[in-house]
């Protein structure tokens, strides 16, 4: 049995839906993963074959003034999970982010490229990666980008809420990356775990895993409005491209969030389709395949 940590998050929900009865999922109310003893006790009780950590402190801007909490969840808790897994000889699957990179240049980042996070969130996630690697047990760390699902608090649902009420929406057009649909990430990550467990030597390491192709937040917003506009009446008429400087946020974000995912394909045999396919699947989930309007989240 697999234990999922962070069951109420976007990825946690997707993992639960995918794994069903073959997993036990724990939420924040059941175990606070920053409490090493509580986490250890919960895992010891469940005796998993693998642990999948989908829990994280993901409020990127809030993290700038909440460093203690961000580092506790994103840096120290992954080490506690890694300690348990290494002690038991079982794999830990963990998730990280494109925000570990500086965002310079336009080439997709590989796992060999040196991270240089711009934000406190990025630093805390990088510390978590390093803690797991240093502990040295079996592990897969999947760095993904721009995660969303049909119901979460995410860019897609923020855009839909704006598009219902406003005629013009201004969106940042100088950050480049791939939006990643949580259910398809969950599926690929679990296929990667199965492939890794079948190998003679567990291929521990960091892997980039996001949808194929690239866009900007502006491009993603346009695609969201085009797809949703076929299913419900939106107010939005104009999607204006703006630079990051015109939308100041407490945390700086990378201009180049492109991830080169070839290592995951070569080593684990996993590859996500183009980001447009993820969006199409999400729209189907949100509105139903009949295409009738549904209530927003």
Ligand X SMILES: NC(=O)c1ccc[n+]([C@@H]2O[C@H](COP(=O)([O-])OP(=O)(O)OC[C@H]3O[C@@H](n4cnc5c(N)ncnc54)[C@H](OP(=O)(O)O)[C@@H]3O)[C@@H](O)[C@H]2O)c1
Active-site residue list = 121
Q: Does 9 bind ligand X (CB under 6 A)?
A: yes
Kindly state the tokens that stand for 41: 């006790």
Q: 180 - beta bridge partners? A: 147
Q: Which of 152, 163, 177, 183 binds ligand X (CB under 6 A)?
A: 152
Does 263 sit near ligand X (CB under 6 A)?
A: no
Residue 73 vs 140, nearer CB to ligand X: 73
List the one residue from 2, 25, 42, 58 that touches ligand X (CB under 6 A): 58
Among 145, 215, 216, 256, contact with ligand X (rule: CB under 6 A): 145
Nearest to 108 by CA among 176, 35, 184: 176
- Contact between 55 and ligand X by CB under 6 A: the answer reads yes
92: its two tokens: 């830990």
Confirm or reject binding of residue 181 to ligand X (CB under 6 A): no
CB of 161 to ligand X, least distance (A): 17
Q: Which of 4, 10, 171, 256 binds ligand X (CB under 6 A)?
A: 10
Q: Of the two residues 172 and 234, which places its CB atom closer to ligand X in the complex?
A: 172
Half-sphere exposure of 79 (CA within 13 A, CB side): 16
Q: What is the x/- site pattern for ligand X, positions 229-248, by CB under 6 A?
A: --------------------
Considering the rule CB under 6 A, would residue 183 count as an interface residue with ligand X? no
Question: Does the footprint of ligand X cover residue 33 (CB under 6 A)?
Answer: yes
CA distances from 75 to 34, 56, 228 (A): 9, 9, 37
Longest C-alpha distance within the chain, in Å?
Answer: 57
Contacts of residue 117, Cβ cutoff 8 Å, sequence gap at least 6: 99, 100, 101, 102, 123, 125, 126
Structure tokens at 221: 């917003």
Burial tier of 167 (Cβ tally within 10 Å: 0-12, 13-18, 19+):
exposed
Q: Under the criterion CB under 6 A, does residue 93 sit at the interface with ligand X?
A: no
Stretch that binds ligand X, among 28-36, 43-51, 192-200, 288-296 (CB under 6 A): 28-36
**How many angstroms separate the CA atoms of 195 and 109, rounded?**
24
Nearer to ligand X, 3 or 234 (CB): 3
Number of CB atoms found within 10 A of residue 112's CB: 8
Burial class (CB in 10 A: 0-12, 13-18, 19+), 239: buried
Q: How far is the CB of 78 from ligand X (least distance, A)?
A: 9
Structure tokens at 70: 């961000």
Please report whether residue 177 would count as binding ligand X according to CB under 6 A. Answer: no
Token pair, residue 67, equals: 């460093």
- Number of residues near ligand X (by CB under 6 A): 24
Task: Indicate the residue among 97 and 216 with the shorter CB distance to ligand X.
Answer: 97
Check binding of 257 to ligand X (CB under 6 A).
Answer: no
Binding site for ligand X (CB under 6 A): 6, 8-12, 28, 32-34, 54-58, 73, 95, 97, 125, 144-147, 152
């Amino acid at each position: 049995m697999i234990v999922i940590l962070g069951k109420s998050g976007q990825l946690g929900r997707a993992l639960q839906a995918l794994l069903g009865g073959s997993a036990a999922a724990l939420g924040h109310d059941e175990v606070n993963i920053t409490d090493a003893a509580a986490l250890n006790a919960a895992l010891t009780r469940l005796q998993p074959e693998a642990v999948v950590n989908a829990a994280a402190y993901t409020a990127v801007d809030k993290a700038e003034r909440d460093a203690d909490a961000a580092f506790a969840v994103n840096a120290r808790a992954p080490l506690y999970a890694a300690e348990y897994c290494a002690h038991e000889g079982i794999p830990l699957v963990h998730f990280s982010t494109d925000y570990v990179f500086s965002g310079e240049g336009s080439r997709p980042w590989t796992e060999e490229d040196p991270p240089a996070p711009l934000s406190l969130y990025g630093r805390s996630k990088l510390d978590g990666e390093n803690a797991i690697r240093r502990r040295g047990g079996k592990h897969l760390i999947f760095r993904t980008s721009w995660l969303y699902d049909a119901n979460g608090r995410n860019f897609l649902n923020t855009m839909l809420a704006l598009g219902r009420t406003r005629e013009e929406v201004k969106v940042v057009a100088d950050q480049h990356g791939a939006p990643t649909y949580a259910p398809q990430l969950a599926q690929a990550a679990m296929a990667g775990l199965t492939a890794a467990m079948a190998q003679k030597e567990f291929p521990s390491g960091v892997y980039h895993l996001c949808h194929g192709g690239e866009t900007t937040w502006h491009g993603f917003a346009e695609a969201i409005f085009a797809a949703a506009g076929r299913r419900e009446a939106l107010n939005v008429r104009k999607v204006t491209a703006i630079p990051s400087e015109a939308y100041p946020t407490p945390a700086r974000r990378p201009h180049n969030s492109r991830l080169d995912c070839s290592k995951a394909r070569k080593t684990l045999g996993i590859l996500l389709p183009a980001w447009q396919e993820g969006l199409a699947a999400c729209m189907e989930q949100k509105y139903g395949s009949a295409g009738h309007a549904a209530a927003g989240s």
